[in-house]
Structure 1
Amino acid sequence: MRGTRLRVAAAATLALLGSALAQTSASVPAEAATTTSSTVNVTVNADEGLGTIPTTGYGLNSAVWDSSMNSASTQSLLQSANIGMLRYPGGSYGDIYNWQDNTAPGGYVAPGTDFDSFMGTVKKIGAQPILIANYGTGTPAEAAAWVQYANVTKGYGDKYWEIGNEVYGDGYYGSDWEANDRTDKSPTQYANDILAYSAAMKAVDPTIKIGAVLTLPGNWPDGVLASGDTSDWNHTVLSIAGSAIDFVIVHWYPSGTGASTALTEPAQLPGELQQLRDEIDKYEGARASSVGIAMTEMNSGVDEDTQPDALFAADSYFTALEQGVFTVDWWDTHNGPGTISTAPDGATDYDDWGVLSSGTCVGSTCEPAFNTPFPTYYALQMLSDVGRPGDLMVNAGTDQPLVAAHAVRQANGDLAVELVNKDPNNAYTVNLNYANYIPSTATPTVYTYGDEASSITSASTGTAASQTIAPYSIETVVLTPAANQFGSLSAPGTPSVSNITGTTATVSWGASTGGQVIRYEIENQDGTTSDRLAESTSNSVTLQNLVPNTIYTLNVLATDQSGKLSEPSDPVTFSTTSPPSSTCAVDYQITDSWGNGFIASVTLTDTGPSAIDGWSLTFTFPDTTETENGGWNATWTESGQFVEATSQSWNAQLAANGGNSQNIGFVGANTGAYRSPTAISLNGTVCTTTYSS
């Protein structure tokens, strides 16, 4: 929401001031005093695959009010950053923009920003477009005509089409920044309109992909009900329009205050995206795995033109892509300055949400010369030093919250490890450890983007076992492999899971190619440690002795005749069900939620043959972003993510064989995801559990 309001203001700034005003280069203050801190241990498991980097993964927004969006210098900079997806016509402008005459009533459209000019930039830099069909002031017929022009008349082959931008911000829930001419602005109306837009657009080109606007769990207006509604935005849209949706659209502007808070927020993404995937799975059924997630706007909104936002970007892009998001599109290319402030490292922040300077001024304070890259640009540029489309992301873990780590197995066998030091004052010695990868003794190549630097540098330095990372910097360590550790087999096809019970599940996958497969190994990710669950000589296996109410993330690897493993398959995540039988039963129900809080009602029943006099109910929250914040009908205590509720004197008795039930509950608080606990136990016994929300 904050980003949207600033983007509208920035449009006027760029339109009125342009790049012709006097331009000065802002001086960069000296770096804060540096001291070497304790060591950090980073472990990379090269056999725990997190999926391949999509061709559309490294994305960026462009906007029709930006007169330089298609300039040769801008194109050159985007090409150098290997931008793989460009979004058009620009945020909230998507709901007022008429592609046919390049106008946006109520907003400014710069010359030279029409659709064909935009597509010229897309083709020049080798990217793909993602286009916002006008929902707010447009019609299905207008959107279909755009598909006709783009893919039939011009033959552009534009694949990805969003239906509107941040539609929930049209006043229906109170906040009103998004244009919507409809009388009915409810999620029900939007969902029904998705069906109409999809039908009209796919009648022209059935190969296109239609995206619907959703919100990330834990982010407004998730969980909010307007008057008369029985379900929130996401659940309503998915339940009605699920059959017409090829991907869902979310925007992410964390709400934290200050750089130190913003730099912790990428850790929220795995839980939020998994909860979103759970919602998709609930409504999409068998086709759920084919429904993609696109994060078409992202920015921390904190110290936007300085090092903290670059560190946020470096961490957030890979965090989102590792969770299966197929594009992350940073807001914005050029945006224009706002309120001037000073970042923690002393650098001037212009409150400009672009990766490139607009060269404009606020009073007597001017940005650097037009198209000067801000630190966020270099963060995006370094993504390609870590991995290119088709390279395999693998699991990396760190024991220091101020140092993030991500890793990629590159196509040539090299292993790249991205390290992000979020500490403004301290350097760290990083001890690098590897599972299922043997680096050579050659000195690694290290790419570095230092605090407020004007370029990315590279050097051969350190060892495969140890690197030093400076304060507020991004480093990418590229290691070559020792010889003879890789086989010729391809990664097995993406696994699917069926026939899930409390203790068993059937896993199937596509065959590995490139040689003779001796066997397949099915491994479960446990941090950066892999647990082998089974082996198979066929393309399917039924796993036994699984733990009820437990989340599993599996990779399949193929073994060749020499005993060498293939790369891991893409991961698949599933949850086992409650135990088929137990001596207790629990119903866990979310009765209300409002974005940063929720209410849980828990009903417990003794289904065993013996009565219970005094009980303890225990569970563990799946995410660090949720806490128990006080409850009723029990004594509630919490330690980390572990929660315990103990009986009161008046409700301690549970009759045998379901003779009675006790209801308890609590108020939860969340700063992101608030997934329900998987296993709930009564007096140490895992109960048969049902969930509802």
Structure 2
Amino acid sequence: MARLLASTVLLAAVAAAPTPAIAAPADVRVDVDTRAGLATVGDVALGVNHAIWDSQLGTPEVSGLLKDAGVSMVRYPGGSYADIYHWRDHTAPGGYVAPDTDFDTFMAGARRTGAQPMIIANYGTGTAQEAADWVRYANVTKGYGAKYWTIGNENYGNGHYGSAWEADEHADKSPKEYAATVTAYAQAMKAVDPTIKIGAVLTMPGNWPDGIVGTGDQGSWNQEVLTRAGSVIDFVDVHWYPGGSSAADTLTKNGHIQDAAFLLRRQIDTYAGTNAGRITISMTETNVDIGRNTQPGALFLADVYSGLLAQGVFTVHWWNVHNGIGTVSEVAGQTDYQDFGLLSSGNCNASVCQPPLNTPFAPYYALSMMGDFARPGDRFIGTGTDNALVSTHAVRRANGDLAVLLINKDPDAARTVALNYHGFTPAAGTPTVATFTNGAHAVSSASTGSASAQTLPPYSISLLTLHSANPAAAPAAPGRLTSTTTDRTATISWPAGAAGLKYEVYRQNNGVAEQLGETTSTSFTVRNLEPGRRYTVNVVARDGSGRASAASLPLTFVTGTPADAPCTVKFRDTNDWGNGYVGAIDITNKTASPITGWTLTFAWPTTWQSLGSGWNAVWTADGRTVRVTGDSPLAPGATTNVGFVGNYSGPNVLPEAFTLNGNVCKSE
């Protein structure tokens, strides 16, 4: 073989120079837009869970691995165990407590990691006094400065809605009782240390039991808890296990994040009373059902942490650090132990053993890439892609650099990506790209491709870091935006910046920015909007030298419907069971003339909503458009009622706008 190779080289030397290879054309377009500003990364963004049945939770080896990954928050004492755990004597009646997992050991590990704690006070079998004593021990006696405390774990799983896995010794298991007890806990705990932050457990929109109204309740779990305890809490705590019929299906669930975050924020603002804007959101458990230890879990982690943080969730936690072997299978050519852990527990079943203790699984490497990607103070910015198998996220650093995360969810094929930048010009040169591929045991790094073209290996995560070609100092970003809306307009306002600035107003559209106009004033009225539609806008300041600021934080608003409309529509979810509901629509003729042959039209806000059946009219659906046709005339001032069964498999965003015979109705 060596002699044949030498001959081939000799022939090449005397032959004509070969034609240079032509790069394969890009099959994916990616847009990265600094003008489409999203949330800022906080100092506790990257989290994981520790559990008292994990004897490794305080070891230097584990702390070192988590520190290397950039973990900034660790949660304790571990999921549902929190509702049976008594911190003072370090017991969990009915559960297993491993050696060396007490609170002080946990805190020592957290400090070695460089992470803040998220502590779960025992709601199920504990008391407000026990929780207050824990605060006193942690922050007064020991001086740990533990800031974040949640009251319970998944307390909606106490049997009130039928399923029971969470311990709860309260005779009343309703959200009303949970809210009253949260209030008592918050008052007792803040009497010890008024600087702490108290979190209440809510459900993630689109996940059970979201939307369900239990027997004797006035509203859903979230509505009841926020209405009754919103004034005493500082954040809400949700979990998200989106499931999926396959690895490919699971990896589509990141598409639910923006709508789920919107609905949760709307619930907080609607039900939590005055000053609800101070209440933030934590996501303290998430994981997948398929490929937990292999590449699907890694891709999901990178995609979902990024998506949640970009929407303003202040911390995201993987469940969990160690868990143990489950049903072993092969996923994308790799052995998967169905272990929720980031690190191997080193245990065995009847025929298979895991790798040695603390060996990182694939999601650990994704988490370490997140540590390099989303650093405290970075600002997420908008990105878009024209291929569903490629996800993109990006952050702008304080020094003007840009980091772009590219996720190829195709297990079989590489993807060639053309990157397009808006509001940013990358410096010349070959970028350094960190990559984690299927089956790898480390993140690799190389200078490859260009700022505008990259090839993504199958089932991979790639991170590009780019310097700006224009690093000169720019104006400060505009301050907090506010809006006043009608059905067709929105007046956007912001605080004044330095003298001589011009302001550009942008609308986010599929991850990139569309300029709506510019002004030298500190307000701008956007016209020709659609009624009942959600919009997200940013403002960019530009100085006399043409230098642009970073985008403002985003403002999301929903336009109204016309007050003088010839019809009104009242849309209600009257009975919800978690993936479907009975909807009722009241249609009122506000004109002085009868309406005959009427057709009501509306659109589902998402692709995972559909019509099951309908009554009191003829119901038809074409994609996301629903038409309801009635035969009986609608007399002046009269109201008719129609109903339907709606199905959903994600956050159930209800329609906001309806037209009757082409006229937009007022929504009530």
TM-score (norm 2): 0.93
Amino acid at match of 1:240: R
Corresponding pairs, count: 645
Give 3-state SS (helix, strand or coil) of 1:426's partner.
coil
Instruction: Compare 519-528 and 288-297 and name the one that shifted more.
Output: 519-528
Q: Secondary structure at the match of 2:275?
A: helix
- Alignment of 1:607 with 2:595, yes or no, is no
Q: State whether structure 2 residue 397 is matched by structure 1 residue 417.
A: no
Q: Which amino acid aligns with 1:282?
A: T
In the alignment, the residues of structure 2 paired with residue 406 and residue 505 of structure 1 have an alpha-carbon distance, to the nearest angstrom, of: 28
Output the CA distance in 2 between the equivalents of 1:228 and 1:285: 23
The equivalent residue for 1:22 is: none
- 1:674-689 equivalences under 5 Å are 674-689=652-667
Q: What is the deviation of 1:550?
A: 2.1
The reply to whether residue 150 of structure 1 matches residue 138 of structure 2 is: yes
Matched residue type, 2:634: L
Q: How far apart, CA to CA, are the structure 2 residues paired with 1:511 and 1:152?
A: 43
Does residue 564 (structure 1) correspond to residue 547 (structure 2)? The answer is: yes
Shift of 1:315: 0.7
Instruction: Give yes or no for contact 2:231–2:273 (8 Å, CA) kept in 1.
Output: no
Q: Which residue type is aligned with residue 455 of structure 1?
A: A
Letter in 2 for 1:206: P
C-alpha contact 1:194 1:241 (8 A) present in aligned 2: yes
Shift of 1:61: 0.5
Partners in 2 of 1:654 and 1:52 — Cα distance? 51
Instruction: Report how far residue 487 of structure 1 moved.
Output: 4.3
**Once the two structures are superposed, what CA deviation does each residue of 1:462-519 show, in whole Å capped at 9, x if it has no partner?**
11221111111111122222235x542222223233x43334445443454xx64513
Structure 1 counterpart of 2:634: 654
Matched residue of 1:77: which SS?
A: helix
Shift of 1:411: 2.3
Give yes or no for contact 2:320–2:340 (8 Å, CA) kept in 1: yes
Once the two structures are TM-superposed, the CA of residue 142 in structure 1 deviates from its matched residue by 0.7
Deviations, residues 338-391 of structure 1 (Å, cap 9, x unaligned): 111121x12111111000001111113110111110000001110133231110
Q: Is the 8 A contact 2:293 2:337 kept in 1?
A: yes
**Aligned partner of 2:228: which letter?**
I
In structure 2, relative to structure 1, the CA distance for the partners of 1:381 and 1:511 (3 Å cut) is: farther
Match of 1:339 in 2: 327
Whole-Å separation in 1 of the counterparts to 2:274 and 2:510? 28
Aligned with 1:366: secondary structure?
A: coil
Residue 75 of structure 2 corresponds to: 87
Aligned match of 2:478: 492
CA apart distance, 1:536:
4.6
What is the CA-CA distance between 1:545 and the residue it aligns to? 5.2
Deviation at 1:183, TM superposition (A): 1.3
Percentage of matched positions with identical amino acids: 51
Match of 2:426 in 1: 439
CA contact (8 A) 1:588 1:601 kept: yes
Q: Which amino acid aligns with 1:496?
A: T
Amino acid at match of 1:586: V
- Structure 1: gaps spanning 5 or more residues: 1-35
Please state if 1:312 is matched with 2:297.
no
Aligned: 1:509 with 2:494? yes
Given the alignment, which residue of 18, 29, 43 partners 2:31? 43
Find the residue that maps to 1:244 and give its secondary structure. coil
Instruction: For residue 147 of structure 1, report the CA deviation from its aligned partner.
Output: 1.0
8 Å CA contact 1:269, 1:320 repeated in 2: yes
1:136 aligns with 2:124: yes
Specify the code of the residue in structure 2 equivalent to 1:59. G
Residue 351 of structure 2 is matched in structure 1 by 364
Write the distance in 1 (CA, Å) between the matches of 2:52 and 2:369: 27
1:626 matched to 2:609? yes
Q: Distance in 2 between matches of 1:302 and 1:317?
A: 18
Q: 1:188 aligns with which of 157, 167, 176?
A: 176
**Structure 2 gaps, min length 5:** 1-23
Task: Write the distance in 2 (CA, Å) between the matches of 1:609 and 1:524.
Answer: 39
Which is worse superposed, 597-606 or 72-81?
A: 597-606
Q: 1:543: Cα distance to partner? A: 4.9
Matched, 1:665 2:648: no
Q: Check 1:91–1:489 CA distance in 2 against 1; reply closer, same or farther (3 A cut).
A: same
Work out whether residues 385 and 447 of structure 1, in 8 Å CA contact, stay in contact via their aligned partners in 2: no
Contact 2:213 2:576 in 1 (8 A): no
Q: Once the two structures are superposed, what CA deviation does each residue of 1:25-68 show, in whole Å capped at 9, x if it has no partner?
A: xxxxxxxxxxx997111111111011111211111101111111
**Structure 1: how far apart are the matches of 2:25 and 2:349?**
39
Give 1:530-545 correspondences, 5 Å limit: 530-541=513-524, 543=526
Partner of 1:57: 45
Q: Is the 8 A contact 1:442 1:480 kept in 2?
A: no
CA drift at 1:538: 5.0
The counterpart of 2:57, out of the listed 55, 69, 79, is: 69
Which amino acid in 2 is paired with 1:509?
A: W
Q: 2:449 aligns with which of 462, 468, 474?
A: 462
Match of 2:99 among 111, 114, 124: 111
1:576 and 2:576 are equivalent in the alignment:
no
Distance 1:38 1:357 in 2: 38
8 Å CA contact 2:230–2:276 kept in 1: the answer is: no
Distance in 2 of aligned mates of 1:201 and 1:510: 37
8 Å CA contact 1:192, 1:240 repeated in 2: yes
Counterpart residue type for residue 97 of structure 1 = Y
**Counterpart selection for 2:160 from 161, 172, 188:** 172
Output the CA distance in 1 between the equivalents of 2:31 and 2:619: 36
What does residue 21 of structure 2 align with?
Answer: none
In the TM superposition, what whole-angstrom CA distance separates every residue of 1:174-211 from its partner, at most 9, and x where no partner exists? 22211111111111111110110111111111111111
Aligned equivalents of 1:109 and 1:681: distance in 2? 60
- Largest Rg, 1 or 2: 2
SS at match of 1:523: strand
Q: For structure 1, which segment, 624-633 or 312-321, has the greater mean C-alpha deviation from structure 2 after superposition?
A: 624-633
Equivalent residue of 2:33, what SS? Answer: strand
- Aligned match of 1:328: 316
Instruction: Describe the SS at the equivalent of 1:176.
Output: coil
Q: CA deviation at 1:457?
A: 0.7
TM-score using structure 1 length: 0.90
Residues in 2 aligned to 1:639 and 1:434: alpha-carbon distance in whole angstroms: 36
Question: How many Å separate the matches in 2 of 1:290 and 1:509?
Answer: 19
Q: Offset at 1:661?
A: 2.1
d(CA) in 2 for partners of 1:415 and 1:619? 41
User: In 2, distance between residues paired with 1:51 and 1:273?
Assistant: 12
The CA distance in 1 between the partners of 2:375 and 2:500, in whole Å, is 28
**Shift in Å, 1:268:** 1.5
How much has 1:461 moved relative to structure 2? 0.7
